[in-house]
Structure 1
Amino acid sequence: MNAVLAPKLLEDLPHTPASDVKKLGWRGVMATVHREGKVLVTNHGRPEAVVLSAEAYDDLLQEALETRVRKQAALDELSHQFDERMKVLQTPEAREKLRGILRRPINFDGKIFTGDEF
């Protein structure tokens, strides 16, 4: 991740009030963007917008896409593992093993379990 994309909290960004944007114009804003990588525009002290270069925006989109692809690959792998385990449970051997377990009498040691005790 390049320096432009390094995550920062809004309060850590270089900022400029909207009134300065009006005074300095777009060139003034872009001078700050080129110098700092991004700039937070505030209105009455409240964050209103973050301006960044088109290259930085493209980098953010690329990073988001790569993250999405990694997460989907991990999810696909988990789904595959789950499907493989389910296949094992669908075999005749697994079915017979489960039936055998359920046919065995349960020993409660003379106790009957109900409610919270169970």
Structure 2
Amino acid sequence: MRARLVLLFGVAIAASAMSGLAAQASPLCIKERTPFALSDDTVKWTMSIAPGADCIQGLRWSYMQIFNVSVVSGPSRGQLAVVGSGFRYSAEKHPPSPDKFTLLISGKNRHDFGTSTLEVEVNPH
């Protein structure tokens, strides 16, 4: 009984400590993600992002594996980093202006290996 009370007390302290930490989720910056098929296809996405904001976007769909994501052409305004099977785009603070970048994604869609090109147009809001 005493061990259970100590455990519950510890959980309560941990929950209390964590309540002061705000999780920062990436806002929904790509509203309509057209799926790519890893079949030598090209897909275009449009990103809407505030000046100085970050967009973290995963690329894997539930029915595929991503083996590699590489930058074909990087953005001219913001910063782009490949993060696992996704990317992180950081918009410049001033002045906001359109941007674009292109990624090459390779992997396996169900049973078939292939690649897709993803062209992302960035629009500040």
Compare CA radii of gyration and give the structure with the larger one: 1
TM-score normalised by length of structure 1: 0.24
More strand by share: 2
Higher relative contact order (CA 8 A, sep 6+): 2
Q: TM-score by structure 2 length?
A: 0.23
